A and B are shown apart, each in its own frame.
Chain A
Amino acid sequence: MSNGDAIIQMRNIGKVFYADEVETHALAGVHLDINQGEYVSISGPSGCGKSTLLSILGLLDSPSSGQYLLANNAVEALNRGQRSDIRNRQIGFIFQAFNLIGDMTVLENVELPLSYRKGVSSSERRERAVAALEKVDMAHRLGHYPAQLSGGQQQRVAVARALVGAPAVLLADEPTGNLDSKNGEQVMQLLDELHRQGSTICMVTHDSRYADYATRKIFMFDGRIVDEETMHRLRAEEDYRHFDEHKGLRIRSA
């Protein structure tokens, strides 16, 4: 499956959280390649490790084990400063909660990633931010504050912010999770258009309708990547187990 085009190559990635003496194996043995220009969706039940995987993809977190090459560079060896720099240049983030900064204007929010780059003049920063906002059709709201925008508009601004630095990959964690279906649809169409223009996108969603926009669908279960049928089977088993436990409880308490 691996080839020269793969912008992301993950080999046997594992992630363990230690909290309050409890080990949580959030990811185990994850292999994942994503090629330039691909649009990948990741879905699976809550708590299966989707966000954790995305954090590692976006260099927000480091894997506990395994190897991760981003654009053929091993990321394990990078220090904090280098990771900041790569996040800034190679990766654009879109979150379920939008995460715009409340006391910055729309324009400033979009300028933000560029303000962390050396050698970008303020006029260039502004031009690029406006261009990105035009792409998401928000250029008429430059001076507004996030609180003055609807959820859908805020998410479009967040998309512009993710785009503005011309990243290699766009990472989206349930980008429609906080939106109604009409606004959600709009954002999905926006991502679709970006994909058609050549962006590489990796999107977490548990809504199968939205997953259909993607060119490749990945399913996760309990920290592992599985194929679609396995997932459905595991899910069904899990539901049955739950049902069984409840029944058991009822019997015991009766």
Chain B
Amino acid sequence: MQALLFDLRHTLRSLLNQPFFTLTTVVMLGMGLGLVLFMFGAIQSLVLQSPPYPNADQIAHFGLRNSVTGERNIRVGVNTYLDIAESQQSLAHIGAFYSGTINLSDQQRPTRFEGSNVTHGVFETLGINPVLGRVINEQDMQVGAPAVAVLGYDLWQQRYGGDASVIGRPVRVNSRNATIIGVMPEGFRFPEREDIWIPMNLDVLDGTRNSAPTVEVIGRIAAGKSSAQAETEFQALLERVNQQYPQARRADTAVVKPLAENMVSEIYARVLNIMLAAVSLVLLVACANVAGLLSARAATKQRERTIRSVMGATRWRLFWEGLLEAGVITCLAAAVGLVIAKLCGNWFMSALASTEHPPPSWALHFHIDAYLIGITIVAVALTTLLSGFVPAWRSSKIPENQIMREGGHGAISSGLGRLGKCLIAIEIALSLVLLVSAGLVIRTVIQIENIDTGADVHRTLTGRLALMDQHYRSDARVTTQFLERLQEDLSNAPGIAMATVTDTLPMTNVRRGWVATANMDIEDEDHLPMSVPIVVADNYFNFFRIPLVSGRVFSQHDDAESELVMVVSQDLAQRLWPQESAEGKTLTIKTGSGATETRTVIGVVGEVEYDGQDLGFGSGNVRVGAYYLPLTQSKGQFWSVAIHTLNEPHTVASVLRDVVARQDSDMPVYWIRSMDDWIEIASFRHQLLATIFIGFGIVALCLTASGLYALLSYTVTRKTREIGVHRAMGAPTWVIVRNITKDSLLQVAVGSFVGLGLSMLFAQLLSYVLFDVSPFDPVSFLLAVLFFALVCLTASIVPAFKAVRITPMQALRYE
């Protein structure tokens, strides 16, 4: 301990005496550590953190795993929820919910909020009490009970100015008269960013079991019970139900997990892990760089160590001192790193918050907490070893008898050269991996932004409508008429060339539905092919200029009374009837309300890209085609209108609003976006990823360039006398340059070669986030290598220039 303090004091002082060295190494490692801590912090916030509810670990989430496909479903049918609620023995509270957008109108303009339909028991399960009024109770759930709404704190503040008298105030919610009954505390936004809660309509249980709407179910584990017990009960329940309804039998097993694990999408976890792998490479580059600098410094301190060894310092003591030096630098770097991590974290979280489907708001805070400090300590220990071990070990080997010789240094310098070259090759290889990765992600962004959607999306403005009022729901014809009239009014409005209606726009889809040909078993849902269902007005194909491949598209004659028809996309037709014509074939599908119906295929059209958000993230890359149903033969509450505008799309946003308001003053138009906006949204997460990877690449590149520069400068210094002699004998400039760079060229070549190999491996990991870009994309690889070569060249110029200017006289004076 005494000795530790003695050494520590000396180490600190000698680092202070070389501020430039200390600053350089601290900043280098600080950047590497900062990025790693940033990633760990982000993973902690987004993936590991439990939600901010009292004893959140006691809140269980009920889901299913399909034992055929292995896929996990976080939602269960409403009936299943009711069955669990009735039969469970291990929960203190249970509740179900699903999210959507909720129309709220009062004296002010109707507005759509993100809201959640919940059962009573949800708030009790979460353990959160309202700040004002009450939460939804069992009476509110009864069929025919007066409609109520619970407001979120922010909504209350912004719309009602925090007025306590809102309790009991009448409003219209989803076109029904309702009363505000409570206000939730600040920061409470459940399940993700919802701001209003209304009782779930349980009056939909007329269909078959499999067609019931799905909900998420949560429960608070009762004292003395466990989630394993809850899972056993749930499993027993599923088996009972399967026996009771053999025709609706599903191959599902019960999965009861902590709520926290279901809050953030799996995509985030995967992407964050990929990024963690990338930042680890950055940290390794930083470690290699600092190891090189520490070795160079150790070489200059060789005499000092020899003196210590002569005085009786053991090899271990000298080794330990070398490590201590690396440790002190790493600790300082960790402080810098935490600052960098916090800055990156804040930026990242606010960027994520502005994405289309952001994670829950409570997950969007970057904390430097005990967890991150713990990670920091581990990272410091590892980094110290990685950057300090080799230099400390090498320099602790002392030829003591050298002390008697004047000067006392000798053998070690050439050895440093070899180690330095090795480290540089490693840095080059790792940096190249990061550059190639950045290249691949940038290419993905470019691919998405220039995506050929298969539809004409030029000058197209879109908006979303929710038809909530009872009269729309009771009669499908009312909806059809409303939409047809809207379409017509819009077409005639100023500045608008054409309008169409659909339930799903290109680049915005998140849904899948199964299809069954005549010879497939529709009871066996788990094995049926999946595709994307799209409901469209008859001018939809014309509007988006989707080419007709064969047959015909919908016409005015396809209405509610005529034969049920559909149009399929080329991909789907190919998949279902590879050898035959699709026209005249029949397909069975499941409707929005859960019933099955069989339709005749009347035509085949070109492919349109529907998957937006998840495009380029794992499953988004699987092409499933699409099938189209005529609006006149379908039901639905949520619709998009699309209009071709004569000028810049957003200039007619108010026209769109006015036309809708003229038909239904209670109906807000939300998501007013151009198709270009939607495409931008689809690429936003990749843009974020690309920004981050570019950051990683640049940091690694700077580190490597400075490492290369240092190595070359060192070579020049070491070879000054040699160069002087060459000069004295009349060597031309290129000989000098070759002499200096020939070693480093080899390192660059070897490093690049290894780096390209590693890049191919890393690209496999990265392929999860790539869209329409091969992990071996030659353009990305080539550009990365060229860019890299340019930077290496630049880093070599100054030292080479220094070498060229060495005169014979200088060489002779040089000590």
Please list the residues of chain A having a beta carbon within 8 angstroms of any beta carbon in chain B. 51-52, 54-55, 58, 60-61, 80-81, 84-85, 87-89, 93, 95-97, 99-104, 108, 111-113, 115-117, 120-122, 125, 161, 165, 173
Contacts and interface: CB of A to CB of B under 8 A. Distances in A.
A116 B307 contact: no
Contacts of A84: 309, 312-315
Contacts of B14: 103
Instruction: Give chain B's interface residue range (CB within 8 Å of chain A).
Output: 20 to 34
Nearest to A101: B304
B397 to A, nearest CB: 10
A164 B6 CA distance: 17
Interface string B5-27: 11101100110010000000000
A55 B401 CA distance: 6
Given A54-B404, A99-B303, A102-B304, A113 B311 contact: yes
Interface of B: 2-3, 5-7, 9-10, 13-14, 17, 303-304, 307-315, 317, 400-401, 403-406, 408
Contacts of A161: 311
Nearest to B404: A51
Contacts of B403: 55, 60, 93, 95, 99
A58 B312 CA distance: 11
B2 A87 contact: no
A206 to B, nearest CB: 14
A93 to B, nearest CB: 6
Nearest to A51: B404
Contact of B6 (A93, A95, A115): A115
Contact of A116 (B17, B317, B400, B404): B317
B398 to A, nearest CB: 10
B312 A89 contact: yes
A173 B401 CA distance: 12
A156 to B, nearest CB: 17
A148 to B, nearest CB: 14
A87 B317 CA distance: 15
A81 B314 contact: yes
Contacts of B304: 101-102
B10 A88 contact: no
Contacts of B404: 51-52, 54-55, 60, 95, 173
Given A61-B401, A116-B312, 6 more contacts: A88-B311, A97-B408, A99-B307, A99-B310, A113-B311, A161-B311
Contacts of A60: 310, 400-401, 403-404
A87 B310 contact: yes
Contacts of A104: 10, 13
B309 A97 contact: no
A125 B6 CA distance: 11
Smallest CB-CB A-B distances: 6 pairs: A88-B312, A61-B401, A51-B404, A60-B400, A55-B401, A103-B14
A121 B2 contact: yes
Nearest to A93: B310
Contacts of B3: 115-116
Nearest to A59: B400
A121 B5 CA distance: 11
A165 B310 CA distance: 13
B314 A112 contact: no
A24 to B, nearest CB: 13
Contact of B312 (A55, A87, A97): A87
Contacts of B317: 116
Given A61-B400, A103-B10, A112 B311 contact: yes
A60 B312 CA distance: 10
A101 B309 CA distance: 12
Contact of B13 (A93, A103, A122): A103
A51 to B, nearest CB: 4
Nearest to B311: A113
A102 B307 CA distance: 11
B13 to A, nearest CB: 5
B314 to A, nearest CB: 5
